[in-house]
Amino acid sequence: MRAVTILLDGVAYGMILFIISVGLTVTMGLMRVVNLAHGAFAMLGGYVATALTLKGVPFLVSCLLAGAAAGAAGALAEVTVFRPLYRKAELQHVLLTIGLCFIAIAALTLFAGSTPLPAIVPDWLDRMVDIGYRSYPLYRLFLIGVGAVMALGVWLIMERTLFGAKLRAAVDDAQMARAVGINVSRLFFLTFTGGCALAGFGAAVGAGIMPLEPFYALRYLVYFLIVVAVGGMGSFRGSLAAALLIGVVGTAGRYIVPQFGGFLLYLLVFGLLLWRPNGLLPPKSAA
């Protein structure tokens, strides 16, 4: 029974990581742009959600609006900052996007203060429910549910729509996709916007586990990047598998052997990348 608890905890955490990172995975796979500012878009969404919730907007509505706001910011950034960047080398991507990250941190510190934001998870969600053998936090079950819905949604878009088919084609071979008349830049714009929107939404619903503060953009970046690296760049299924694996193994490790909890996760990542350098489920282009 204890194992079930650990599994639930781990999956809930993994789902948040998945919602936030999936956009990063797909955009990195599509355009090979190393976007270290991804956490900043997530953070922006979280801040918007908090501001709205404190003004009396219902929690779920403000989470959705947070996604919209982060998506809009992403769209704006794609047009103004990222587009000129595609042809540049990776070092320039890293420098520019980490710079964006610092700007976001400084701006939020200036406008919203440097202390972490108040909790916004509403009372109806932030309570214990009986799940048969014990009482368990409803909020975590909610996260698992939301994550599952999001994963299903993204899966349907990727696998069952023309847009998804084009996207997969472009990830596998961008040049070929262009040659057959797919507008890859437009695909990227849409994916980037969608990814940022998901990240903003994820940061908003996950704020109960990952508290929002200006340093959010960097604090969790390493986890988002692990999801991308372990899952395989550009792979939707890979990022889901990687996020859940990180959540469950990280949680189990900390529960069973807390004295090693810190590096068990990194050991796992190390091993996985040795075994599959391109990630768990890489798209065909990388295989």
Partner 1 sequence: MKKTALILAAAAAVFGAAQARAEVVKFGIIAPFSGPFAVWGKQFKDSIDAYQKLNGKMVNGHEIQVIWRDEGAGDASKSRQFAEELILREKVQMLGGFTLTPDALAVAEVITESKMPTIILNAATAIITRKSPYFLRVSMTLPQIIKPLGEWAAKNGIKTAYTLASDYAPGHDAEDAFVKNFEKGGGKMLGKDRIPLSVTDFAPYMERVLQSKAEALFVFAPAGAPSIAMVREFDRRGLKAAGIKLLAGGEVQQIFLPSFGDSVIGTISSVHYTESNQRPENIAFRKALVDQAGPDTVPDMASIAGWDGMNLVYETVRALGPRFTGDQAIAFMKSKTYESPRGPIKFDPVERDIIQNVYIRRVEKKDGILINQDFTTVEGARDPWKDDNPNAK
Residues that bind partner 1 (CB under 8 A): 2, 5-6, 9, 12-13, 105-106, 109, 113-119, 126, 128, 135, 137, 139-140, 208-211, 213-216, 218-220, 222, 250-252, 254-255, 258-259, 261-263
Query: Quick one: 72 or 218, whose CB is closer to partner 1?
Result: 218
Contacts of 38 (CB under 8 A, 6+ apart): 20, 21, 23, 24, 195, 196, 199, 221, 224
Cβ atoms of 104 and 42 within 8 Å: the answer is no
Instruction: Please state the closest distance from residue 252 (CB atom) to partner 1, in A.
Output: 8
Each as own residue / partner, the long-range contacts of residues 125-133 (CB below 8 Å, 24 or more positions apart, any chain) are 125/59, 126/208, 133/1, 133/4
- Output the smallest distance, CB 251 to partner 1, in A: 5
d(CA 264, CA 249): 8
**In the complex, least distance from residue 182 CB atom to partner 1, rounded to whole angstroms:** 39
Query: What is the dihedral sign for C-alpha 196, 201, 204, 207?
Result: negative
The number of helix segments (H) and strand segments (E) in the chain equals 12, 2
Q: Which of 192, 220 has the CB closer to partner 1?
A: 220
Q: In the bound complex, what is the minimum distance in angstroms from residue 129's beta carbon to partner 1?
A: 11
> 64 or 143: whose CB is closer to partner 1?
143
CB of 155 to partner 1, least distance (A): 25
User: 26 or 100: whose CB is closer to partner 1?
Assistant: 100
Residue 73, number of CB atoms within 10 A of its CB: 20
Taking the least distance from each CB to partner 1, the nearer of 9 and 78 is 9
